[in-house]
Structure 1
Amino acid sequence: MAQYQVLVVDDSAFMRKVISDLIEEDPLFTVMGTAKTGREAIAKVKELRPDAVTMDVEMPEMNGLDALKHIMEETPVPVIMLSSLTSDGARETILALERGAVDFVRKPSGSISLDVFKVKLLLHEKLRIAVAVNLKSRTMSSVKVAKDELVVLSDAGSRLPTRQSVPAVLKPNRIGPVQKLVAIGTSTGGPRALQQVLSALPEHFPAPILIVQHMPPKFTHSLALRLDSLSRIRVVEAEDGQELRNGTAYIAPGGWHMHLAKNDRTSGYQVKLTKEEPRSGHRPSVDVLFESLLPYVTTLPIHTVLMTGMGSDGAKGMKALKAAGSHASIAESEETCVVYGMPRSAVEQQCVDYVLPVTEIPRKLTELLPST
């Protein structure tokens, strides 16, 4: 007997049928109802109280993004977004994750059986995660700011207000030598956690930041653009051979492993991207990134962070780095994790120096890496 009930929201009758059939192939779930508009979705969530919702983005009357906002404010429930493969679809998906969606699944084409099979497996996986998430972490107002503002830490660690959209021309291009490094790994719930951390760092943050977020191609590009618009530091999707700069965050592109490499020409550091086999099902992998830092531990102070995410990716790499002499290691605490998997694995490996709620991580990084 099914244990969890799902509401399917899509303006296409065909897609409602496809998604419903895919969901019910997992005996753990049953589709309790459907909705074809955002307004209808809001009403049915209140009426039916489902355990999870799958939500399309483009719908008449009210789109999925606006419906999601109302649902998370009024009747919080785990929501999985159905995203198209287009650039517009990727941008909308990133916004949905900011607004409280647990995760997303690319919409099936409906015509290619292999594509539908892959979507089915992902949908079942994401739904199983969704019904077990820490929903409080999606709805809690952990940062109290005005609608059009965010909070940024100054170089001294005090709070400074700034406009939500930060023009790139205001961002300094710090070309000084790289003398320390931060590496961050995250998965489910990561986009929102990354926003809370990166948007609170000062523009003169004195180190590059290497980031692995489990996410497919195109979506990492949209994530980087969105985070860059919200942050004082630069945020970019990493490119092979790219020279590392202080005050810049580099997000590993979906489908590629990211490594740290020495640039013999400049004596600095650069990004190396590879297509090695996925590690524990992930490419990019946090463990692959962390392991690539091992040769530099004795000459480059390295600080590692693991935040919300299913599984244990990054824990082994963090432990190896700690054993080799890396500097501070930080794990996001259970209270703010959407899924307390990756950070918990690191804590269990006994390689974590600080366990902090996500809102305290930027303050700790600013304290550990003061601007000179």
Structure 2
Amino acid sequence: MSIKVLVVDDSSFFRRRVSEIINQDPMLEVIDTAKNGREAVEMTQRLKPDVITMDIEMPVLDGISAVREIMASTPTPILMFSSLTHQGATATLEALEAGALDFLPKKFEDIARDKEEAIHTLQQRVKAIARRRVFSPRATTNLRSSASASSAAASEALRKPELNTRTVSPSVRTTATNEVRSAPVKFKRTGKSYDILTIGTSTGGPVALQTVLTALPANFPLPILLIQHMPATFTAAFAARLNSLCKIKVKEAQDGDPIVKGQAYLAPGGKQMLVEGRGASARIRIIDGNDKVNYKPCVDITFASLAKLYQSKVLAVVLTGMGADGRDGGRMLKNMGATIWAQDEKTCVVYGMPQAVTKEGISSESLPLDKVAQRIMTEFS
């Protein structure tokens, strides 16, 4: 059975072009098109598509508002098309927070190096998110409330070093209420010590990172390196957004930044993030990198750099994302005695990157997204 797609855009040319690309894949079928957000909401309720591709700027009802209405009434996987501008980045991040699962540049030449690769990328993204069950944003609200409580508990744990266990519970969403329900699970400290935390992610990463980072306390004891597959024009806006929401400080990494505790550094899009030095002399290096590398930034490259300098003192977490970025770098970390955890399949938008490190035997734990921060903080309780 083919994946049914609804294409939404106010440009007739773009609707036609996207429809042609999607219909080239025998597993995909465009069942209809809509020229504004209001039509998209109505058609979604009537046609029940498996996936929606959505423009942001449209008449009658814009894409962000349409996402909110669709997720409230008929939750459906949504792929946003965005302009690669600061304004476009901000709007896209709002759409992802509203419930959209992924995004692509609206100009196909910005998607990939050649036409065929761009076509393949669009088709693969549609198929990837079609497999994902989605829920009302009310679940996200519950996660935020849980994150606030987790952060308070984590701060208290840092003041009570005698505690070495924490009772937490994985998230379970019910399709009837879209609420988070907990079942008790006890995490135990590994007894290891760490000098740095790093998190790598791709598809679904913006919301995943927000979920994890907003649950960390202001007195978090490690520096954090973040690698999110994202265009160059998006990372500054994303870092600023995280900084406004988190208790820790978040910034887009710059070449020469000192690596300090309680600060998160987001790898800039289009570049590679490395580290050099140790302790007080540790610095971030931002380089152009090899054009043959598929991802800029690349999780493998940052992980490999950390393996060389921090060795066993690294705590690495691989979150939702397509592909296997993080597997090779994770293997290098593992060989040096570092600790790697992965997000579990149930809570991933795309179980690609976490699956790669899990199947390889690199990851020692598989965690639900809303418990990742609590599991991290258990190591310091």
Q: With structure 1 as the length reference, what TM-score do the two structures score?
A: 0.84
3-state DSSP of counterpart to 1:122: helix
Distance in 2 (CA, whole Å) between partners of 1:145 and 1:325 is 32
Gap change, CA 1:196 and 1:259, over 3 Å in 2: same
Q: Which stretch shifts more, 288-297 or 9-18?
A: 9-18
**1:190 Cα deviation from its structure 2 partner:** 0.6
Identity of aligned residues (%): 38
3-state DSSP of counterpart to 2:31: strand
Distance in 2 (CA, whole Å) between partners of 1:279 and 1:324 is 26
Partner of 1:293: 306
Partner of 1:236: 251
Partner of 2:171: none
Partner of 1:318: 330
**1:21 Cα deviation from its structure 2 partner:** 2.4
Distance in 2 (CA, whole Å) between partners of 1:313 and 1:213 is 11
3-state DSSP of counterpart to 2:282: strand
Q: With structure 2 as the length reference, what TM-score do the two structures score?
A: 0.82
Distance in 2 (CA, whole Å) between partners of 1:277 and 1:301 is 27
1:335 matched to 2:346: yes
Gap change, CA 1:109 and 1:286, over 3 Å in 2: closer
Partner of 1:12: 11
Structure 1 residue corresponding to 2:215, chosen from 177, 200, 207: 200
**1:86 Cα deviation from its structure 2 partner:** 1.6
Query: Where in structure 2 are the equivalents of 1:339-354 lying within 5 Å?
Result: 339-354=350-365
Distance in 1 (CA, whole Å) between partners of 2:138 and 2:277 is 42
Distance in 2 (CA, whole Å) between partners of 1:153 and 1:143 is 15
1:185 matched to 2:200: yes
**1:29 Cα deviation from its structure 2 partner:** 2.1
Structure 2 residue corresponding to 1:309, chosen from 315, 321, 332: 321
1:71 matched to 2:33: no
Deviations for 1:319-362, whole angstroms, at most 9, x for unmatched residues?
32122122x32211111111111112212222223221111111
Partner of 2:160: none
Partner of 1:284: 297
Gap change, CA 1:27 and 1:33, over 3 Å in 2: same
**Would the aligned equivalents of 1:106 and 1:119 in 2 still touch at CA under 8 Å?**
no
**1:77 Cα deviation from its structure 2 partner:** 1.4
Aligned length in residues: 342
Deviations for 1:127-151, whole angstroms, at most 9, x for unmatched residues?
121222x22478682662689x955
**Would the aligned equivalents of 1:152 and 1:199 in 2 still touch at CA under 8 Å?**
no
The amino acid of 2:310's aligned partner reads: V
The amino acid of 1:253's aligned partner reads: P
Gap change, CA 1:46 and 1:94, over 3 Å in 2: same
Partner of 1:219: 234
Gap change, CA 1:37 and 1:344, over 3 Å in 2: same
Query: Where in structure 2 are the equivalents of 1:69-218 lying within 5 Å?
Result: 69-108=68-107, 119-132=118-131, 134-136=132-134, 141=139, 144=142, 151=149, 153-154=151-152, 155-157=155-157, 180-218=195-233
Gap change, CA 1:316 and 1:118, over 3 Å in 2: closer
3-state DSSP of counterpart to 1:77: coil
**Would the aligned equivalents of 2:71 and 2:135 in 1 still touch at CA under 8 Å?**
no
**Would the aligned equivalents of 1:239 and 1:273 in 2 still touch at CA under 8 Å?**
yes
Distance in 1 (CA, whole Å) between partners of 2:335 and 2:14 is 51
**Would the aligned equivalents of 2:320 and 2:349 in 1 still touch at CA under 8 Å?**
yes
1:247 matched to 2:262: yes
Distance in 1 (CA, whole Å) between partners of 2:106 and 2:17 is 10
**Would the aligned equivalents of 1:240 and 1:272 in 2 still touch at CA under 8 Å?**
yes
Deviations for 1:26-72, whole angstroms, at most 9, x for unmatched residues?
33322211111211101101111112111011112221111111212
Gap change, CA 1:208 and 1:251, over 3 Å in 2: same
**1:238 Cα deviation from its structure 2 partner:** 0.8
3-state DSSP of counterpart to 1:303: strand
1:362 matched to 2:345: no
Where in structure 1 are there 5+ consecutive unaligned residues? 159-178
Deviations for 1:114-168, whole angstroms, at most 9, x for unmatched residues?
8866643332221121222x22478682662689x9555131259xxxxxxxxxx
The amino acid of 2:303's aligned partner reads: F
